[in-house]
């Protein structure tokens, strides 16, 4: 019995001793740790006694393993902010809008000479792929290409805009409307005319052969927060206001919402979130449940909360949050809407989170449901 107590005492001491690099520097800011010098000497003296050497060896093996797992866990959950990347020089343009000095009709070779190679391709509501370009989500640009390899769609939510109308991310809604005129109130698709429920959070313009959507941040003086530029040929490929569902569109929508979140966080000097497959599965199941059963709530029809559903799937966390969106035309519209809702915005820009999973699903009317699950452990 005494030997067992001695074993566990030594193991606890060894764990604290081996794990010192993880806590000693931070603790020394508040506590004088010079007393540990005598503790170090005492441990060395005890270790030299033959009657405890066997117990000490066993304790060392266990604490070494636990320390390695602890350091791995700390590394996995470390909240790191990437180093700042220089902004490109944004030149004046002869086009209505340019993003990162790229304009509609530019070839893929010309565009990628400016932004490099894409880091991810994500199927969009137009039936093409968004090619994602960035460096740690800085200088974030989405580009779409037609069959001839020419740019037919662009998006950014960062200060990469130039315009013949001298609009920028610092422009206000009033300035945009003064420069571009009255935005569209309807969008025609085939024989159906859809009323645009913009809630004054974005404006859609048709100027010559270009559709321009300008998004505003209502919490920052209605300044421009993002812009999407689509050629009319691409817009016409979207036969309805909502795209036809597919597994590729679902996956693309999930990853795009994840990327947009990180692009928003990096602009606020916040740690980037890591994609988590397990919690994405939890999120996807909730979106599928809402879409199939025609409801929209954080609490499902079995009365389970977001945290209940995470625990049911075996996901460990000490802090977590959930965002829901429904009925937006795409992940871009969903993200911009969430940023204009203060409670959802707080989740997106919460510094404590380290992981994010996104799940999307579509109902019978092709309307998408989005579930974002944030957490750290």
pLDDT in tens, 48-78: 555 555 544 554 454 444 444 444 444 455 6
Domain ranges of the chain: 1-77, 97-241, 249-376
Distance CA 199, CA 49 (A): 77
Q: Tell me the pTM.
A: 0.81
User: For residue 63, what pLDDT is reported?
Assistant: 45
Q: 97-241: what fold?
A: Pathogenesis-related Protein p14a (3.40.33)
User: For residue 85, what pLDDT is reported?
Assistant: 94
User: For residue 346, what pLDDT is reported?
Assistant: 98
Which parts of the chain sit beneath pLDDT 70? 1-78
Q: Which of 59, 249, 224 is nearest to 157 (CA)?
A: 224
Task: Find all residues with CB under 8 Å of 197, minimum gap 6, and list them.
Answer: none
Task: Find all residues with CB under 8 Å of 307, minimum gap 6, and list them.
Answer: 317, 320
Q: Do domains 97-241 and 249-376 have the same CATH topology?
A: yes
Is the CB of residue 322 less than 8 Å from the CB of residue 371?
yes
User: For residue 48, what pLDDT is reported?
Assistant: 53
Q: 249-376: what fold?
A: Pathogenesis-related Protein p14a (3.40.33)
pLDDT in tens, 260-307: 999 999 999 999 999 999 999 999 999 999 999 999 999 999 999 999
């Amino acid at each position: 019995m005494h030997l067992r107590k001695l074993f566990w005492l030594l193991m606890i001491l060894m764990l604290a001793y081996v794990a010192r690099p993880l806590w000693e520097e931070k603790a020394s800011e508040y506590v004088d740790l010079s007393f540990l010098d005598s503790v170090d000497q005492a441990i060395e003296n005890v270790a030299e006694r033959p009657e405890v050497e066997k117990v000490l060896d066993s304790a060392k093996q266990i604490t070494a393993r636990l320390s390695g797992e602890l350091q791995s866990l700390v590394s996995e959950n470390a909240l790191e902010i990437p180093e700042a990347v220089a902004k490109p020089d944004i030149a004046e343009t002869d086009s209505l809008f340019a993003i990162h000095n790229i304009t509609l009709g530019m070839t893929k070779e010309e565009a990628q000479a400016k932004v490099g190679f894409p880091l991810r391709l994500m199927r969009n509501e137009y039936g093409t792929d968004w090619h994602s370009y960035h460096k740690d989500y800085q200088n974030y640009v989405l580009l779409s290409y037609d069959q001839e390899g020419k740019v037919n769609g662009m998006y950014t939510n960062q200060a990469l805009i130039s315009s013949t109308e001298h609009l920028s991310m610092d422009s206000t809604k009033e300035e945009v409307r003064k420069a571009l005129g009255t935005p569209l109130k309807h969008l025609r698709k085939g024989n159906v005319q859809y009323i645009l429920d913009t809630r004054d959070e974005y404006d859609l313009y048709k100027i010559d052969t270009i559709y321009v959507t300008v998004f505003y941040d209502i919490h920052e003086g209605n300044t421009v927060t993002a812009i999407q530029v689509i050629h009319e040929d691409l817009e016409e490929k979207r036969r309805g206001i909502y795209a036809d569902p597919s597994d590729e569109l679902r996956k693309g929508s999930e990853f795009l919402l994840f990327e947009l979140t990180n692009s928003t966080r990096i602009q606020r000097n916040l740690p980037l979130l890591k994609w988590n497959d397990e919690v994405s599965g939890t999120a996807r199941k909730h979106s599928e449940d809402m879409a199939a059963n025609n409801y929209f709530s954080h609490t499902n029809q079995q009365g389970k909360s977001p945290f209940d559903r995470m625990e049911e799937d075996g996901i460990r966390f000490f802090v977590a949050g959930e965002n829901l969106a429904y009925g937006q035309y795409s992940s871009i519209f969903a993200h911009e809407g969430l940023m204009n809702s203060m409670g959802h915005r707080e989740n997106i820009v919460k510094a404590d989170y380290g992981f994010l999973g996104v799940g999307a699903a579509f109902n019978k009317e092709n309307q998408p449901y989005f579930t974002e699950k944030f957490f750290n452990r």
